[in-house]
Amino acid sequence: MQPRPGVAPFTVRTPRVVAARRLHRRRDREETGRFLAEGPQAVREALRAGLVVELFGTAQALARHPDLSAGAYPVTDEALGVLAETVAPQGLVAVCTAPDVPLESALARQPRLVAVLVEVRDPGNAGTAVDPYNGKCVRASAGSLFHVDLVRTPSVELDPLRGAGLQVLAADPYGDADLDGLADTGELARPTAWLFGSEAHGLPDAVAHAADRRVRVPIHGQAESLNLAAAAAVCLYASARALR
């Protein structure tokens, strides 16, 4: 497989590069429904999912990854540098279509484990998941972004979750239920939607009290609390293990 024949390497002034570079801005990502995926792992998974619109690569990267080079636009190192966000880019950047799906479509597939972020505004709290198409989040997902259903809604709706057979658990440091206790009683073996709120304010009271259970993560040692990313990882892993 070879990149597009007869195409001179694109530069920073080539219109396609200029247009792709704008996707570093959230506003442009929202307006176009597109985002950038950087590096061979992300590009490979995006291609597998059929979401790549354009692919750019340096001559060295395209030669190093011939399985990814079909139809790619060759670019200069300087052009690749303005498309990439990492300090040491790996030579490949793809423009991808955002894989958002409607809530109804996602629930129709009968998921067994769902994570719901509620009013999480600080990118640092959720690994930039407040904007799943931010470059850091795309890279951190290591390609899994292209293989899960991603739903973005302006409000939290619990009835559709319950209608899909999911119990609704709210992660709450002051919850009356203990994560270990739920695991011991087998309650985590049920299909579950976890609700996670912002690190600063937690879940809105109305949302937390509307959940089936408010669940706290037991803290061992002298730590006062877990940050949102750590708490979510613990809760989701406990459920995934029980559902196994």
CA distance 119 to 61: 40
Q: What is the pTM of this model?
A: 0.82
CATH classification at residue 21: 3.30.1330.30
Looking at the 3D structure of the chain, how many domains does it have? 2
CA angle centred on 17, ends 137 and 130, rounded to 5°? 20
Return mean pLDDT, the chain: 90
Q: Which one of 66, 97, 128 terminates a domain? A: 97
**Cβ-proximal residues to 23 (8 Å cutoff; 6+ apart), any chain:** 29, 32, 34, 35, 36, 95
- Indicate the pLDDT class of residue 228, thresholds 50, 70 and 90: confident
CA distance linking residue 224 with residue 234, whole number of Å: 16
Residue 94 phi/psi, 5° resolution? -115, 140
Q: Provide the residue count of the chain.
A: 244
* pLDDT tens sequence across 177-202: 999 999 999 999 999 999 999 877 88
Tell me whether residue 4 is in a domain: no
Provide the percentage of residues in the chain whose pLDDT is more than 90.
73
The reply to whether 175 and 67 lie within a common domain is: no
pLDDT at 1 over 60: no
Residue 122 confidence (pLDDT) above 70? no
Decide if 8 is inside a domain: no
In a domain, 50, yes or no: yes
Residue 5 lies in a domain: no
The CATH number of whichever domain residue 179 belongs to comes to 3.40.1280.10
Q: What is the pLDDT of residues 45-99, one digit of tens each?
A: 999 999 999 999 999 999 999 999 889 999 999 999 999 999 899 999 999 999 9
Q: What is the domain range of residue 210?
A: 103-243
